[in-house]
Amino acid sequence: MRILAIGDVVGRPGRVALARALPTLREELSPSLVVVNGENAAGGLGITRKVADEMLGLGADLLTTGNHVWAEREARDFVDAYPNILIPANLSPVGNPGHRVFVRDNVAVFQLVGRLFMNPLVDDPLATADRIVESLSAKVILVDFHAEATSEKGALAHHLDGRVSAVFGTHTHVQTSDERVLHGGTGFISDIGMTGSWDGVIGVRTDEVLRTFRTGFGGRAKPARGNPVLEGVVFDIDGKTGKCLSIERIRRFI
């Protein structure tokens, strides 16, 4: 079984890169499931129904989100109607709308948000992961860990080693080179990267990022333009055992 996970889509440039690259990737790789992180897909921050429909129409089977999932207010009104859009399972409060686990056939996916340097309203990701994994009967289980610190991502992967098929990091928009299969058979990478403009700073306009660092006055930064790239990873997984057989990074300039 092959799973394609695509890094954080940043604004319209990211959606354009997805539109140009995903059909070809689907043809080349024949993935059983395509997971796309879409929390920054609407104008660089948040997700809307129109943007979600666009990415699903391009060939994404499942959209994950992250700590910015509620940046667009309309997200609260439509996510309940989309079983293939995931809200981080440990993002408090629990009563907020949205689906926390995606299950199709023998595959389950859930998402967690990290605690370090992130939203304070976050439950313990380790305990949340334990509870969800114990409740699942699917043999293939994937975890999108939307977190800032590579140490926290690695700790979760080792905590779940042998119990899930893969743990892949999102959020930092910087693809790491630490992909590996852990001793228990869990595929892991700290961050799968981003899909957006390579010419900006993690997909954002350079001038706006520099202004923020120089003045301390932040705001809703606009996505950068030019030199679009799609980044992600491909997991090959044994569907009978749930063990990860291999993990490979991908980067496509469009």
CATH superfamily label, 2-253? Metallo-dependent phosphatases (3.60.21.10)
What does the pLDDT read at residue 237? 98
Exposed/middle/buried for residue 216 (C-beta within 10 Å: 0-12, 13-18, 19+): exposed
Q: Does residue 117 contact residue 146 with C-beta atoms inside 8 Å?
A: no
pTM of the model: 0.96
Q: Which of 68, 146, 171, 173 is catalytic?
A: 68
What does the pLDDT read at residue 254? 87
Query: Distance between CA atoms of 192 and 207, rounded to whole angstroms?
Result: 25
What does the pLDDT read at residue 29? 97
Nearest to 17 by CA among 32, 36, 4: 36
Q: How big is the CA angle at 154 (ends 31 and 22), to the nearest 5 degrees?
A: 25
Q: Which two tokens stand for residue 84?
A: 């293939």
H or E segment to which residue 51 belongs: helix 49-57
pLDDT tens-digit map of 179-221 = 999 999 999 999 999 999 999 999 999 998 998 899 988 777 7
What does the pLDDT read at residue 121? 81
> How many residues appear in the chain?
254
Low-confidence spans in the chain with pLDDT less than 70: none
Query: Distance between CA atoms of 203 and 122, rounded to whole angstroms?
Result: 26
Number of other CB atoms surrounding residue 25 within 10 Å: 20
Q: Is residue 173 annotated as part of the catalytic site, yes or no? A: no
Q: Does residue 79 contact residue 51 with C-beta atoms inside 8 Å?
A: no
